[in-house]
Chains A and B, each alone.
Chain A
Amino acid sequence: MKKILLIIQREYLTRVRKKSFIIMIFVVPLLIFAMGAAIALVAKNSNELTEKQVVMVLDENGQFAGKFKDQKNLEFKYSRESLEDVKTELKKDGNLSALQIPADYKKKDAVKIYSKKKPGITLTEKIEREMNDIAVNNSMIKNHIDTALLNSVKSNISLNAIEITETGDNKTNLGANIGVGIACSILIYLSLFIYGAQVMRGVIEEKTSRIIEVIISSVKPFQLMLGKIIGVGLVGLTQFAAWIVLSIVATKIAGNAFASPGGNLMGAIAVLQTIPFGKILLCFIFYFLTGYLLYSALFAAVGSAVDSETETQQFMFPITLPLLFTYLLSVSILFRAPDSALAVWLSIIPLTSPVAMMLRMPFGVPDWQLALSMALLVLGFLFTTYVAARIYRVGVLMYGKKASYKELVKWFFYKE
């Protein structure tokens, strides 16, 4: 036991002291933050005009005159000038455009917009929407339908999802759930890979540097494997802890800096508060740890079977397949149907459950499913650790022999 602790200590300290580890602590949250900001910026820009746009409406029939409503950064003017005259003006001002509406505007491609720059899709969409509204209105008036009455019965309905729970009705926000679910499954997918591969690389390093024989003349191969797996796992947990602390500090600072009363941020936080973060965090840690134990044991076995990293391909593929498969399904289909049979099964089967369950978590998972999934995952990692240890103890002393699956099976059945 004391020896395992020593191994854990070494594996942990050599990794945590590396410069790359310390850089990762700061770079990854920055990257995520930058990515989020970029997405938010793009999303914002695509819905709103950033510069003031003026549209000259050249309405041949006067059917639209005075009916356009000005919007933020969008102003309509009406003109009786000829198109040619307006064009000279357009050439001078890039933010000016002319909308030519002929009498038979309902014909295909009859309405034209002129501008110096290519008009943005946001601008054209806004104009199209307004024109359609006006045209519909015009038609209704023509057909003697009372628009005032129509407007009063028109409604603006958007669904407000309420989830019925034991403790009372909860307002939920599907968008936030999907966001958190996908973020969690991506994070767990990546971290299983990153830290599993670190274990594998560590095993290969010991094998190629030939120190393995010195070490296992002092400790049992199983102790070495377990020590390495736990040590690297602790590195992962340290990394997560650092990220959580950093992001709490960052949001505190951001909250203080941008706290405008009734601002969007407060709304966003209110929505996020409906998601049970504490429970998700605990489950994340559980699924990361057990999922990591399950996969890293397999990664360690692969590392022991090869002489260099380039040879790992043939063994890596079947190991990574269930993870990759679940991950791709999760981010493409499953988040739309988190309670579908496929999602439920994937979140219970040990190899796929870490990714699938983390995706489902924000939507709420029945307790029995969670308990079953966790129990199976624990059994799963005990099983893979047992199998991996039997391959590992033989593999680490094998050199120059190209291992095949048949060979691995033989190793598994070797006596001590």
Chain B
Amino acid sequence: MLSIRNIVKQYAGHRALSDVSLEVESGQVFGLLGPNGAGKTSLIRIINQITAPDSGEVLFNGEKLNQSHINRIGYLPEERGLYKKMEIGEQMIYLARLKGLSREDAIKRLNVWFERLDMQSWWKKKIEELSKGMQQKAQFVATVLHEPDLIILDEPFSGFDPVNAEIIKNEILELNRKGATILFSTHRMESVEELCDSIALINKSHKILDGTVKDIRNSYRNATYQIEYNGETIAFDGKQPFDVLEEKPGANNDHRLKIKLKDTSNSNEVLQYLLPKVHVNMLQEVIPSMHEIFIEQVNLIR
């Protein structure tokens, strides 16, 4: 869908992107992660052809990005904004027509969306009469009204209350199910694991990590397990197939362990070692969360 190759973008005082390459597969939900000022918005603006890169290129479905692709992209910028004094229905139609939709189609689709999101009574309202959350909802509709193949959302959940954030999240997933590719930037990690198929992590203008969420998390597995058992405290003699990282005794002989496997061993051997001694309640591999990976990687560079 989108192929970003060796993008460099230099601003007067600093470098926003240095040699960034990314692949966004068709039909994916792709998360663009990174701390503030990493270069996410610069990259998004380049994809939207708001600015041009100093070097490198962007391919859209294999074609070099050009004006004809604009109508197939929907963009929700981080800084939200609509014409304050314009009626909302008229404004949505205007924005959709700028993306190449006919007036009739825009009205038809707008009716569907307004019904879906419970906004029918808003047609004649001016933006300045709406609450901030309502404005955000309207802007989301404006972003997707022309049914773009690629939807780019810059911090889509900021400014939504939890209820509306949930509604928008479901709408995003629904659009993705219908075939749209979603590219969104965020620093809210919990939404990443829930939504994203793939991610790229950008820090200080460099891409430092990318791939599918599953692969990335797997690559950060380090043979660490969490164990809960009931029974007498085990006295480890050094022959066990693991090292103990953490030991936490609880009430009623409940114990908790955090272990790391020794080189050649596996989890079955751990069980074989424990089962004769105690009653095992739980054995679970500890896979680092995206959040932990994010923090670790960003701190590594710093």
Residues on A close to B: CB < 8 A?
Answer: 3, 6-7, 10, 14, 205-206, 209-219, 397, 410, 415-416
Residues in chain B near residue A206, CB distance under 8 A: 83
Residues in chain A near residue B79, CB distance under 8 A: 210, 213
The segment from B91-99, B108-116, B209-217, B241-249 that touches chain A is B91-99
**With the chains together, A216 CA to B81 CA distance in Å?**
13
Of the candidates A6, A210, A219, A410, the one whose C-beta lies within 8 Å of that of B80 is: A210
Say whether chain B's binding surface is mostly helix, strand, loop, or mixed: loop
- On whether A211 and B49 interact (CB within 8 A), knowing A6-B94, A218-B98, the answer reads no
Residues in chain B near residue A415, CB distance under 8 A: 52, 54
Minimum CB–CB distance for A409 against chain B, Å: 12
Instruction: Please tell me if the beta carbons of B142 and A214 are within 8 angstroms of each other in the complex.
Output: yes
Residues in chain B near residue A217, CB distance under 8 A: 48-50, 70, 73, 75, 77
B234 within 8 A of A: no
Residues in chain B near residue A216, CB distance under 8 A: 50
**With the chains together, A209 CA to B85 CA distance in Å?**
10
Instruction: Please tell me if the beta carbons of A218 and B99 are within 8 angstroms of each other in the complex.
Output: yes
Instruction: Please tell me if the beta carbons of B81 and A213 are within 8 angstroms of each other in the complex.
Output: yes
Contact size class for B?
20 to 34
Instruction: Please tell me if the beta carbons of B51 and A209 are within 8 angstroms of each other in the complex.
Output: no
**With the chains together, A192 CA to B239 CA distance in Å?**
91
**With the chains together, A211 CA to B76 CA distance in Å?**
10
Residues in chain A near residue B139, CB distance under 8 A: 214
Instruction: Please tell me if the beta carbons of B83 and A209 are within 8 angstroms of each other in the complex.
Output: yes
B277 within 8 A of A: no
- The 7 listed contacts between A and B (C-beta, < 8 Å) are A6-B97, A14-B86, A205-B83, A211-B83, A213-B75, A217-B75, A218-B98
B125 within 8 A of A: no
Instruction: Please tell me if the beta carbons of B70 and A218 are within 8 angstroms of each other in the complex.
Output: yes
A217-B70, A397-B45 provided; 11 other pairs, C-beta below 8 A?
A: A3-B98, A10-B94, A14-B86, A206-B83, A210-B79, A214-B139, A216-B50, A217-B50, A218-B99, A397-B51, A410-B12
The 8 A CB mask of B38-78 against A (1 = contact, 0 = none) is: 00000001001111101000000000000000100101010
Minimum CB–CB distance for A169 against chain B, Å: 58
Instruction: Please tell me if the beta carbons of B82 and A209 are within 8 angstroms of each other in the complex.
Output: yes
**Which residue on A lies nearest to B74, using beta carbons?**
A217
Minimum CB–CB distance for B98 against chain A, Å: 4
Total cross-chain contacts (CB, 8 A): 59
B279 within 8 A of A: no
Say whether chain A's binding surface is mostly helix, strand, loop, or mixed: helix
**With the chains together, A217 CA to B76 CA distance in Å?**
10
- On whether A213 and B77 interact (CB within 8 A), knowing A218-B70, A415-B52, the answer reads yes
Residues in chain A near residue B85, CB distance under 8 A: 14
- On whether A214 and B12 interact (CB within 8 A), knowing A6-B97, A219-B98, A416-B52, the answer reads no
Instruction: Please tell me if the beta carbons of A214 and B77 are within 8 angstroms of each other in the complex.
Output: yes
**With the chains together, A48 CA to B75 CA distance in Å?**
73
**With the chains together, A211 CA to B45 CA distance in Å?**
14
**With the chains together, A397 CA to B95 CA distance in Å?**
19
**Which residue on A lies nearest to B97, using beta carbons?**
A6
**With the chains together, A206 CA to B79 CA distance in Å?**
12
Minimum CB–CB distance for B72 against chain A, Å: 12
B221 within 8 A of A: no
Residues in chain B near residue A3, CB distance under 8 A: 98
Residues in chain A near residue B84, CB distance under 8 A: 205, 209
**With the chains together, A211 CA to B98 CA distance in Å?**
13
**Which residue on A lies nearest to B70, using beta carbons?**
A218
**With the chains together, A225 CA to B5 CA distance in Å?**
31
Instruction: Please tell me if the beta carbons of A214 and B75 are within 8 angstroms of each other in the complex.
Output: yes
**Which residue on A lies nearest to B154, using beta carbons?**
A213
Minimum CB–CB distance for A10 against chain B, Å: 6
**With the chains together, A36 CA to B156 CA distance in Å?**
60
Of the candidates A209, A218, A416, the one whose C-beta lies within 8 Å of that of B95 is: A218
**Which residue on B lies nearest to A3, using beta carbons?**
B98
Residues in chain A near residue B52, CB distance under 8 A: 415-416
Residues in chain A near residue B95, CB distance under 8 A: 214-215, 218
**Which residue on B lies nearest to A221, using beta carbons?**
B50
Instruction: Please tell me if the beta carbons of B50 and A397 are within 8 angstroms of each other in the complex.
Output: yes
